[in-house]
């Protein structure tokens, strides 16, 4: 499909409009922006993205509640907690994510950070620089995340994987936060071993509605293949940074209800 230059100009203008610090306060990305240490940004960002379905105000509120239970020092809590500290997490719940899931997340993160300085290693395990997208990294993450003994089966629904044809919307959003690098002050760009060109656009019903309207997407089912199809078109608009258009598509779908 050839590039529609008029559409590209319109979407570029929407990226410029919404990829600004003013966007941060009402979006779950405000949670990792509470921190300056790389590991705190990663951990708080991961939880905020995992919680990111439903009302954004509630997502932000529940993310802050969890961080308060960790003394607003998530990396220190992950690395140095004892059994008594874990009791503070009991009773936490956001939609279908409960304290059983939370305790396993803490267990995995403690295990990971005992071996690696950054959570990035969990996403690049299984990826190469030649990969067109992060698909292999996301599949590998799922296998790695549930490689520890006695993981709760129920927790699997909170880590999406392309192998199950999930859109992986929340993990793709988290990757955008960590990987994209520009001078706008919204995304962090603190992970350097994944290229912005490998990112996949987060897609949900709102983004898909806008994509259908602009003829960017033809697949009826909103799944991993739809995410790849949409991203492939966005890559024609900007091969180096296709997922910057998430700002435009999300804002048109959710903010402007286009």
First-last CA distance in the chain: 23
Check residue 38 and give its pLDDT: 98
- The verdict on residue 233 lying in a domain is no
- The verdict on residue 133 lying in a domain is yes
Q: pTM of the predicted model, to two decimals?
A: 0.97
Give bridge partners of residue 93 from the DSSP assignment.
98
Check residue 109 and give its pLDDT: 98
The per-residue pLDDT for range 242-251, each reduced to its tens digit, is 999 999 999 9
Nearest to 168, CA basis, from 145, 191, 192: 145
- The verdict on residue 57 lying in a domain is yes
Report the sign of the C-alpha dihedral through residues 75, 78, 80, 85, in that order.
positive
Check residue 1 and give its pLDDT: 64
Check residue 165 and give its pLDDT: 97
**Could you tell me what percent of the chain has a pLDDT over 70?**
100
Nearest to 67, CA basis, from 45, 52, 95: 45
The Cα-based distances of 213 to 217, 245, 249 in angstroms read 9, 15, 11
Check residue 76 and give its pLDDT: 98
**Number of other residues whose CB lies within 10 A of the CB of residue 184:** 16
The answer to whether the CB of 180 falls within 8 A of the CB of 187 is: yes
Check residue 15 and give its pLDDT: 98
- The verdict on residue 254 lying in a domain is no
The per-residue pLDDT for range 138-197, each reduced to its tens digit, is 999 999 999 999 999 999 999 999 999 999 999 999 999 999 999 999 999 999 999 999
Distance CA 80, CA 72 (A): 14
Residue 37 pLDDT greater than 70, yes or no: yes
The Cα-based distances of 172 to 35, 84, 95, 166 in angstroms read 21, 34, 20, 11
**Number of other residues whose CB lies within 10 A of the CB of residue 231:** 24
Give bridge partners of residue 127 from the DSSP assignment.
none
Domain count, the chain: 1
- The verdict on residue 46 lying in a domain is yes
The Cα-based distances of 49 to 11, 63, 187 in angstroms read 24, 9, 13
For 71, the domain range is 22-200
- The verdict on residue 114 lying in a domain is yes
- The verdict on residue 103 lying in a domain is yes
pLDDT tier for residue 257 given thresholds of 50, 70 and 90: confident
The per-residue pLDDT for range 60-112, each reduced to its tens digit, is 999 999 999 999 999 999 999 999 999 999 999 999 999 999 999 999 999 99
Check residue 256 and give its pLDDT: 85
The per-residue pLDDT for range 116-131, each reduced to its tens digit, is 999 999 999 999 889 9
The answer to whether the CB of 33 falls within 8 A of the CB of 23 is: no
Residue 2 pLDDT greater than 80, yes or no: no
The per-residue pLDDT for range 145-157, each reduced to its tens digit, is 999 999 999 999 9
Helix (H, G, I), strand (E, B) or coil at 33: helix
- The verdict on residue 195 lying in a domain is yes
Distance CA 45, CA 178 (A): 8
């Amino acid at each position: 499909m050839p590039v529609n230059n008029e559409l590209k100009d319109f979407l570029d203008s929407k990226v410029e409009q919404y990829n600004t610090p003013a966007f941060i306060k009402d979006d779950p990305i405000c949670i990792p922006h509470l921190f300056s240490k790389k590991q705190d940004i990663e951990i708080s960002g991961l939880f905020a993205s995992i919680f990111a379905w439903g009302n954004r105000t509630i997502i932000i509120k529940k993310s802050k509640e969890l961080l308060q239970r960790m003394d607003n020092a998530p990396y220190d809590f992950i690395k140095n907690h004892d059994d008594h500290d874990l009791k503070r997490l009991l009773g936490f719940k956001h939609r279908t994510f409960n304290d059983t899931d939370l305790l396993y997340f803490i267990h995995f993160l403690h295990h990971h950070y005992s071996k690696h300085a950054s959570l990035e290693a969990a996403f690049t395990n299984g990826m190469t620089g030649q990969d067109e997208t992060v698909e292999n990294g996301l599949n590998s993450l799922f296998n790695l995340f549930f490689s520890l003994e006695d993981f709760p089966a129920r927790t699997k629904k909170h880590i999406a994987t392309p192998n199950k044809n999930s859109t992986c919307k929340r993990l793709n959003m988290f990757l955008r936060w960590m990987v994209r690098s520009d001078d706008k002050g919204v995304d962090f760009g603190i992970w350097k071993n994944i290229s912005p060109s490998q990112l996949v656009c987060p897609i949900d019903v709102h983004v898909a509605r806008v994509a259908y309207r602009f003829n960017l997407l033809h697949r009826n089912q909103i799944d991993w293949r739809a995410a790849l199809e949409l991203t492939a078109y966005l890559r024609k608009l900007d091969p180096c940074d296709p997922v910057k258009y998430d700002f435009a598509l999300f804002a048109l779908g959710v903010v402007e209800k286009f």
